[in-house]
Amino acid sequence: MKLKAIICAAMMAAASVAAYAAAPVVAQVSPYVYPENGVASVPNFTYMPDGNSYLTLATDHRSVVRYDTKTGNQLEVYLDLGTTRESRLDFIDGFAISADASKVMVWTNTEYVYRRSFTAEYYIYDTHSRLLRPLSAQHPRQQSPIISPNGRMVAFVADNNIYIKKLDYNSEVAVTADGAPGSIINGIPDWVYEEEFTTTCSMTWAPDNLNLCYLRYDESAVPTFDMQRYGGSCSPNPGLDLYPQTWSYKYPVAGQVNSTVSLHSYDVETRKVKTIDLPDNRIEYIPAIAYGPDENSLIVATLNREQNHYEIYKVNPKSTVCKSIYVEDSKTWVTPESYEDLHLGADGFVILSWRNGRHQLYKYNYNGVETGQIAPGDYDITAYYGCDPAGAHIFQVAAPNPRDRVIRRIDAKGRITDISPSTGDSQATFSPDMRWMLLCHSSCTSVPVYTLATNEGKSVRTIQDNAAAAARLQPLAAPREFFTMTSDGATLQGFIIKPANFDPARKYPTVMYQYSGPGSQEVRDRWRLDWYDAFARAGYVVICVDPRGTGFQGRAFCDQVYGDLGHYETIDQIAAARYAASLPYVDADRMAIFGWSYGGYETLMVATDPACPFKAAVAVAPVTDWRFYDSVYAERYLNTPQQNENGYHTSAPLNRAANLQCQLLIMHGTADDNVHPNNSLEFISRLQAAGLLCDLWLFPNMNHSINFCNGRALVYAKMLDWLNRNL
């Protein structure tokens, strides 16, 4: 055999051995990550209007079943795909009901557009006649439909235009006609609104059903971002293996042109559209619109481009008269919770603001007069649920520790009681009249359990105990040990996961995990079986610390990163590494840092810092320069590059690549529409220019989450295999 053939054979044998060796690592990780780590929920749990019963989607996705709220007894099959008239479906992906519950809107064949938005084939089911009809005969797929308050009309979007289906007449009317891809969008948000303002619908019905108000986005001047889509073998794209296809969409990076957003009102009777001009030329964004108590009270939330001036207007859509009813100015940024969690009631609105140093609740009437603060205290309120029949306000708070989420009730006399467990993580869904609470509670040692309780916290019954998941998954979970440490005088929250069969006399390799983004929080007492439990089984210590800039420890703690992303987070992560190295069971010579998205960004910031204490670093989908990222997020914390050139320069790992201090693995999805893969490629280009090496693993056609075709297991198996060889 010739030498060349011998070498090739040896290489093939080595590749085969490597592939064989990697397979057990994937199997080792898979039970701990998506989708195998999933637990049951209560799918499409929807209260009926009176709160006395509720609907859920059956596990076979072929029926919607109604249950008695108090007893849990099945009352009826509200919708059965086997008995519908006119149209028949094999399954449905989800459902929604009209205000009087006489109509059920169902959808099937869902196809996602971006992270939250999707198109689907929608149908309307009439509970009296059992007629099931397509929402539109003219448009096979629809997006973000909303049912009118009287249940007789549905507004929806198709091909960037708004249409109204009049159910009584089975007719369809076009509201707009100027919608066009890459140019005009009516009724649904553009990419950056969906991603950063967490919205998928930009329409709202008037309470009297006579007006539909909507936002129009002109994205003509927004620069286009192009990405390649390949043939691939995971969800393959036939025909693209020889000639990959370019996929394009509008994506405004920091400092570039945003969509021009405008507010409009459509009169259902006259079919006339009015443009509503808001009185402040500083308005750059309209994050939310919704009707207040009557048809003359359209509530419009607005922001300037710097996102430090927040103003709410009450608008009469018929006269187009606008009145400012709330103004908040900030030296840094207005917290997104202020407009994302705006609660509109019959006699006023409740706003979650951090203007006084903590996330707190304030109530206003619709004339803009503050009528009081709800449950003041030295803690961060994280959600407001409403006011119950006794006049008590119900809310969620990050207390008694920032890692906890507790549901509390404050009565008319100011007495506060916990109506959920006082530690761990509690999430709630209330009936329309606030009498009943679907409570989901978990902790780092217990899977989510769904119970029905009264609005005073009295448990009535268990709806989903997740007993099967508990038996399967809880034995896999490694214990968390919560701790605090200091960095530059700041108190930081953290947790430690120790290896299985922990021996305090041994020294273990350690992975520092973090996300670190402004307002985020990873150190939580909630159920989350994930990769770090697998790593603990594999003999690693895992440590997580939330640095300055993260959330729920007061505004001052969060504000410090304003204008200078990455600076304090890096100081704190290095301090956390030094704390870890001081522990007797941590091998200080075998430490790694890992992060995804903002965590990947911060991983690179630490890895390129002269004081980096890590031997290895793993960054997944990292931002490498905030000039590459979207306008809303980057500018919220840094302003524009034109306003803060130095802040963008010093916060970019791209400009520090030549200072790489440790071994590096980067992973990225090639179809990541959020953090584009050019972030990683540009960083690698800088490494090459400096004569430095790193490892790269790409996921063809996968997005920011890398969560289909067992992608998550492959990410963490690759990381585990790589760390095993490099620590």
Active site residues: 597, 672, 704
CA-to-CA distance for 332 and 636, rounded, in angstroms?
Answer: 8
Strands 74-80 and 94-97: unpaired
CA-to-CA distance for 341 and 288, rounded, in angstroms?
Answer: 10
Show the 3-state SS of 16-39: HHHHHHHHHHHHHHHHHCCCCCCC
Q: Positive or negative, the Cα torsion across 573, 578, 582, 586? A: positive
Q: Are 99 and 46 in contact (CB under 8 A)?
A: no
Q: Closest Cα partner for 360 from 516, 637, 555?
A: 555
CA-to-CA distance for 393 and 387, rounded, in angstroms?
Answer: 4
Q: Compute φ and ψ for 527, nearest 5 degrees.
A: -75, 125
Q: Compute φ and ψ for 493, nearest 5 degrees.
A: -95, 140
CB atoms within 10 A of CB 178: 12
Task: Please name the amino acid found at residue 161.
Answer: N
Q: At what angle do helices 711-726 and 3-29 cross, to 10 degrees?
A: 120
CB atoms within 10 A of CB 460: 15
Q: Closest Cα partner for 477 from 513, 539, 531?
A: 531
Q: Closest Cα partner for 212 from 300, 272, 172?
A: 272
Task: Please name the amino acid found at residue 297.
Answer: S
Tokens 């920091």: give the residue. 254
CA-to-CA distance for 197 and 693, rounded, in angstroms?
Answer: 38
Q: Sheet holding 490-497: strands in order across?
A: 480-487, 490-497, 541-546, 508-513, 586-596, 616-620, 663-669, 695-699
Task: Collect all residues with Cβ–Cβ distance below 8 Å to 167 and sequence separation of at least 6.
Answer: 103, 124, 126, 151, 152, 153, 154
What is the distance, to the nearest Å, from the Cα of residue 293 to the centroid of all Cα atoms in its chain? 29
Q: At what angle do helices 567-582 and 598-607 cross, to 10 degrees?
A: 70
CA-to-CA distance for 629 and 253, rounded, in angstroms?
Answer: 5
CA-to-CA distance for 502 and 587, rounded, in angstroms?
Answer: 14
Strands 446-454 and 370-374: unpaired
Q: What is the DSSP letter of 180?
A: B
Q: Are 203 and 144 in contact (CB under 8 A)?
A: yes
Integer-rounded Cα Rg, in Å, for the chain is 27
Tokens 């895992």: give the residue. 542
Q: Are 311 and 352 in contact (CB under 8 A)?
A: no
